[in-house]
Amino acid sequence: MIRLKETVFAVALVLAVWASIMHPAGMTTDQGMTFGIVLITLALWGTGLVPGYVASTFLFVALILTGLFAPQDVFSSFASTAIWLVVAGFVIGAAITHSGLGARLGALARPHLSKSYAALIGGLMILGMGLGFVMPSSLGRAAVLVPVGMALADALGLEKGSLGRTGVAVIIAVGTNMPSFAILPSNIPNIILSGVAEQSLGAHFSYADYLLLHYPILGIVKSAAIVGLVLYFFPASVAVIAEAPAPVTGSSRRQWVLLAILMVTLGFWSTDQLHGINAAWIGLATALVLMVPQLGFVPPPVFKNAVDFSMILFVAGALTLGTVVNASGLGDIIAHAVLQVLPFQQGSDFLNFISLSLLGMVTSLFTTAPGAPAVLTPLAPELAQTTGFTINTVLMTQVIGFSTVLFPYQIGPLIVAMGLAGENTRHLLKITLSLFVVTILVLLPLDYLWWMLLGKF
């Protein structure tokens, strides 16, 4: 396996040097060098030869030392709402764990989810899907559910390092993110797609129409497939404990106060379209309250261990990569290059549907999921003319594309959720790679049939 990773990285390195010298696909010198740096970064993330934060630091250093981007542009990701929602998520998660609220909620959920390991995994997926309708941020959903899920894993005898505990972390990471791609305001790429489509094309998406089009397959069927894959790759059995569960520790009064704070936070998160306050600033305000030492929710010693700076570096790198690909014009070049090799043909609806979905998948490999809509949406009129689809249908195929990932780095919240759970992100690869195959072979044909039934072709 190590030799395979080294081989993949060596190939990427050769391609990076070639792109920097030869400037393929009409790239300028700067674009060729940027493309080379992006290839090396992607290879480091994809192979796991070095930790993700090391690859991100390479990206920062390479872009600055080569003079391709100014430091303020490279580090603009640290000013993004995503980064501060990550920080808020770490603090909220620490408060839930330190106060004992996570263990208490886990104890309450235990009778319903402890009948079997399958019931546990399926139940956590349903909880993640349900939160997608009331919380607009997948990072916020993970911050709430991870401490509860891990406390439940502890109560059921799933020890750290076990397949079962890893399965719990994976199902929470994926369950709080993947199904919500089918809910318009519940994931960042969805919102970007909606905003860019409205601004550049005058297109407007209905919440109900979007939900009806995507949720039956990308929400329900895909979630069922994910549960099956987690049970297959991370098999386990929960402990059957005859005696009463151990009493939950921690101040009951403090737990009730924390629960009230979280309910207020959840209320603001779920009504963001009314008040217009970004989920990150709501989360940061909550984190500020929780960090006040006198309140005791997250004392300074707990805070020091709560925030994982390596995870923040990783997420910042993923955001920076998407930014530089779009800002440099590489996104357009990559999308057009892929466009030339895909077999579009008017009248061949199924072939065009598959090709458009693949276009989104390939583009998001380089731009990450949030960057794909910004690159592909301006191409919608051209793609509509080529395929014979309506512009709205072309735009909706993007959702299938950017929600189907090969590598975890494409969706930052997956990485963050695993970090909150204290698990290695490499475990996600088993799910993302196998789910990609399931999507191509099963979900795409099902989606096509569903869209036909709704009269989209």
Under a CB-based contact definition with an 8 Å cutoff, are residues 308 and 53 in contact? Answer: no
Q: What is the rounded CA–CA span in Å between residue 77 and residue 319?
A: 6
pLDDT, position 63: 96
pLDDT, position 247: 53
Residues 6+ apart with CB under 8 A from 44: 9, 50, 54, 55, 58
Element (DSSP H or E) covering residue 116 = none
pLDDT, position 243: 46
Other Cβ atoms closer than 10 A to 357: 24
Arithmetic mean of pLDDT, 301-325: 81
Which range scores top for mean pLDDT: 6-10, 56-60, 239-243, 339-343?
A: 56-60
* CA 399 from centre of chain: 13
> Is the pLDDT reported for residue 1 higher than 70?
no
pLDDT, position 3: 79
Under a CB-based contact definition with an 8 Å cutoff, are residues 148 and 109 in contact? Answer: yes
pLDDT, position 345: 83
Q: What are phi and psi of 426, to 5 degrees?
A: -65, -25
Under a CB-based contact definition with an 8 Å cutoff, are residues 182 and 219 in contact? Answer: yes
Helix (H, G, I), strand (E, B) or coil at 132: coil
First to last CA, the chain: 44
Cα dihedral 395→397→403→405 (10° resolution): -120
Confidence of residue 117 (pLDDT cuts 50, 70, 90): very high
Share of the chain residues as helix, strand and coil, in percent rounded to the nearest 5: 80, 0, 20
Choose the weakest-confidence range: 158-162, 277-281, 282-286, 439-443: 277-281
Arithmetic mean of pLDDT, 158-186: 92
The position carrying tokens 């318009």 is 184
Under a CB-based contact definition with an 8 Å cutoff, are residues 431 and 174 in contact? Answer: yes
Arithmetic mean of pLDDT, 14-34: 93
Q: What is the rounded CA–CA span in Å between residue 140 and residue 282?
A: 10
Under a CB-based contact definition with an 8 Å cutoff, are residues 138 and 186 in contact? Answer: yes
Under a CB-based contact definition with an 8 Å cutoff, are residues 151 and 255 in contact? Answer: no
Q: Where are the alpha helices (DSSP H) in 271-348?
A: 272-275, 279-291, 300-306, 309-327, 330-341
pLDDT digits (tens, 9 = 90+) for 246-293: 555 566 888 899 989 988 987 887 676 688 887 778 889 999 999 999
Query: Mean pLDDT across the chain, nearest whole number?
Result: 87
Q: Where are the alpha helices (DSSP H) in 138-187?
A: 138-155, 163-175
pLDDT, position 185: 73
Under a CB-based contact definition with an 8 Å cutoff, are residues 81 and 280 in contact? Answer: yes
Question: CA triplet 140, 143, 146: central angle to 5 degrees?
Answer: 135
pLDDT digits (tens, 9 = 90+) for 33-60: 999 998 998 888 877 788 888 999 999 9
Other Cβ atoms closer than 10 A to 305: 10
Residues 6+ apart with CB under 8 A from 31: 23, 328, 329, 330, 333
> Is the pLDDT reported for residue 116 higher than 70?
yes
Closest CA to 421 of 228, 144, 203: 144
Question: DSSP code of 68?
Answer: S
Question: DSSP code of 295?
Answer: G
pLDDT, position 242: 46
Q: What is the rounded CA–CA span in Å between residue 282 and residue 266?
A: 9
